[in-house]
Structure 1
Amino acid sequence: MARPRKQGLDYFPLDVDIDQDDKIQLVEAVHGPVGFAIVIKLLMRIYKDGYFSKWTETEQLLFSKRVNVDINLINECIKDCVKWDLFDKSIFETHGVLTSNGIQTRFLEAVGRRQKVEMIQEYLLLELEDIKVYKNLSVKSINVDINLIDVNINPQSKVKESKVNESKVNQTTTDGKDVVDDVPKNVEMNDKKLAEVTQFYSSNIGNLVPHIGDELGYMIDEHPSELIIEALKRALEANATNKIRYANSILTNWKNQLLKTLDEVKAADQRRTNSYATHKGAKVEVVPDWFGKHPVATSQTAEVVDIAAERERLQRELAGG
């Protein structure tokens, strides 16, 4: 069974002057500091889920309990947020979902490095022209009778369809347009990579408990499998206490150095080794132990000796000797 793909964010950008935004100030003007806190808590919840959050009765009760604010006050605040376009009105009234154009834009920027990102067509507020630059994005449509299906957002997919028609499955969206679904192939490839990593972990490190499986799955979303295995090997060699965290640090460092393959990592390691060897092998002049312990005769010293001899000679002559 395929592991559920990570959708949410671990953190999200929050402008330092968010309280100066007119929409936020309107919320604060009506609901005070509590209204501001509700908005921030809602944003935290939305980004944790991804780019939207459903607002059903169950969600309302749970949210009210967690933030310790009366549910009626929360709903009044949300109505005003919708009225002042902090959240999209049409999506909220049609689907009971909290989202906005800005939220979706920031979400896509944050997940730009993931191998695959899914968004729901009915909740999408961005224009296709704006999102087609995200090559890892798959837009899907909700249908009460069938599962999620792909929406064609890639202008080149029509050309590719005629070339690989035998290996793909044609499906139809709710607007009646034929599209090509290549998700099974991607899922199969991703599951194969995950299987390689989990096999290495269970064979060399320990039991594959559920939360470890999730962590390895998130790593697969962000990094090549060969680098994940190499990072885990180095965590083993270092005898790290938390091998997942140690491996993640290594992977982050490689990503920051723009190292994408195992060959590139090994080449970088070799460069560091050569640099260290060159620095260590630099020629250093050895000074003898006796250097500086004995005075060395100089022309000045010789000059002093000559003056003394001359003075002694003159003294003998004056004394008549």
Structure 2
Amino acid sequence: MARPVKEGLEYFPLDIDFFDDPKILFIENLFGEKGELVVVKLLTWIYRNGYYCEWNDEICLLFTKKSFSNFKPSFVQEVTAELLKRGFFNESVFKRFGILTSKGIQKRWLNAIKRSKRSAEINSEFNLVSSEETNINEEETPLKLEESTQSKVKQSKVNKSKVKDIKEEETDNNFLEKVFETEPAKLFIMYWRRNPSPHEVFEVKKLIEDHGIEDVKNSFHKAMEQGSEKMNIAYVKGIFKNLLKERFDLEQKERKQLEMKEAESDRKKDAKIISQKYQELWSRFRKIKDLLTPLEQDRLIQFLNTNQLDKAETKIAELENESKDQPEIKTRTVESLALSMKIS
């Protein structure tokens, strides 16, 4: 393929409605002002070299480094991919030749070349402009025109065709048709009997992704019941704000109830364990009761009755060990008790 002619421009026209274009509105909603800045920078990158630019990961990296101080190439690629998807750049030409261009870019470039009286043409393989579409548009004429050319410009105004660009209009209509066929747009038509703006479609699409289609349908229905004044995105968002608060409060209440239930269950388990321990210690106490003095018996009974089970268990374990280590302790203890009773 012969290398196409590439002649750069010193400046390029930017329509005052540029940022109201549905394609740019989508970029703004998806990526914010940073996305819009990427679009304008891409246009300057293209017009600097002509009517197109090659585009791949390496060029994206160079473009990002040269154009921005804090943007990542991956972000620029996301914006570019969305521009291709929305038809801002011609996707079929990009897939075939790996370049970014569009019919509008080519038309503006050709008109600028004609005004500067340079000779250039677009490579036929990705030319998107027909010959009758290359008339100079006086709205895009630079302010630096020489006095001697004013009469030619006036003549151009007289001779300019009044026929609209049907193909571009059809492209925009097709784009809008795709927008209105989406699920968010159908909600506006179904409940509010009107077509949405691209911005509204984007907002509702986000709500559907975050909350699900059924909740969004319910919010549209509630807004409709409140009358036309409430049939707007701000009111729908307010419904979801309240809905999220209600769900949060309900979750908190359920969580608290669950914690209380678990605490009660733990308390019952602890009570059962304590009861079993109490019965076990009483059984062990009875086995060594005769080895104890009345004072020791009273103390152990007090430990058991006041749930000082750890102290009771420690004392009982000591006495049990003594009885094992010294078998004669029982005899001595009985004799000492008998002696004490005799003395008394």
Shorter-chain TM-score tier: 0.3 to 0.5
Please identify which structure carries the higher strand content.
1
Please identify which structure carries the higher helix content.
2
Compare CA radii of gyration and give the structure with the larger one: 2
